[in-house]
Amino acid sequence: MASIARQSTLLRQSCLSAIRAPLVNRNAAGMSQMVAFHASAKKQILPPLPQTIQGTVNDPAPVPHTSPSHGSYHWSFERLVCVGLVPLTIAPFAAGSLHPVTDAALCSLLVLHSHIGFQASIIDYFPKQRVPKTRALCNWLLRLTTLTTAVGLYELETNDVGITEGLRRIWKA
């Protein structure tokens, strides 16, 4: 009878340890602590940045260097490109194929708009302090892709029917 009680106690302990194992994390000292998110494993893509403070608490925040190409002029230029795309996108389809210059302006603004958007994504998601080589690679890939797209659209405009007529043919196919 004692062996059956001992076996049931061991079985209960092994079952409880199997249930609690994902919930409890043991540190280097052997102390157990609860894990914050029980249902997911800890998978970090990049290690955390070093937790250091530059200077002292009494130092003022650094003021970035002023540059017209990265300040309010840059923001205004982005908005002008976005606003300029609206009539250039609607006009050829509403009034018919207007003029090759209008088509070329649409292609130019599309390339600029795409480049600015992807550049903002690279700046946001690849910080220079953490992954400088990856950011540089992404910037060069963006430049190469933008150049390839611009050359392709130029060839479409000069040697073929143009972007608006091409889209119209695809739409009616």
Annotated binding site for heme b: 113
Burial class of residue 164 (count of CB atoms within 10 Å of its CB; 0-12, 13-18, 19+): buried
Long-range contacts of 63-68 (CB under 8 A, 24+ apart): none
Per DSSP, the three-state class of 85 is helix
Q: Select from 70, 75, 78 the least CA-distant residue to 115.
A: 78
Where is the binding site, in residues? 113, 125
Residue 40 φ/ψ region, left for φ over 0, alpha for ψ in the -120 to 50 degree band, beta for the rest: beta
What is the CB-side half-sphere exposure of residue 1 using CA atoms within 13 A? Answer: 0
Residue type, 64: P
Residues annotated within the binding site for a ubiquinone are: 125
